[in-house]
Amino acid sequence: MHKLLLVDDDEFSAEIVQHSLRKYDLSITYVNNGVIASKIVQKESFDLIISDVMMPEMDGFTFLEGSMKHIGETPVIILTALDKVNCLDQLNRVTVSSYMVKPITKLNLMTRIAKALSLQELNLLPT
């Protein structure tokens, strides 16, 4: 089972992502801000981090920048309502495996998760 950290202040969006992923062999830890996420990655390791950008208290890029020594080579997928042009500077400061502009589709998300975890997509079929 792969461990995944989901960081998103939009509970509706987070619930959609979690609902889409529940039927797969993934253990999901969900938090709603970067402050909590930064504390969690100091104590636990994850196989994949999915993070929103715009969040109160600490945005996704600040969380990732401040947590790089704990995250290491962990793949990161960014989910955001911002377009790439508005995020280029921040994207260059953190290691991001994939970047997705909301709204996202389940198939696109699962394809990117499979790629980030170096899995064949068939391994993400429901268990």
pLDDT at 90: 57
Residue ranges per domain, the chain? Answer: 2-121
CB distance 4 to 31 below 8 Å: no
Instruction: Average pLDDT across each block of 10 residues of the chain; the chain has 127 residues. List them in order.
Output: 93 86 86 96 96 89 91 89 59 68 84 84 54
Q: Which one is the CATH code of 2-121: 3.40.50.800, 3.40.50.1100, 3.40.50.1010, 3.40.50.2300? A: 3.40.50.2300
How does 84-122 read in b/e, with b if 16+ C-beta sit within 10 Å?
A: eeebeebeeebebbbbeeeebeeeebbebbbebbeeeee
pLDDT at 41: 98
pLDDT at 31: 96
Give bridge partners of residue 48 from the DSSP assignment: 4
E strands, 12-88, are 26-31, 48-52, 76-80
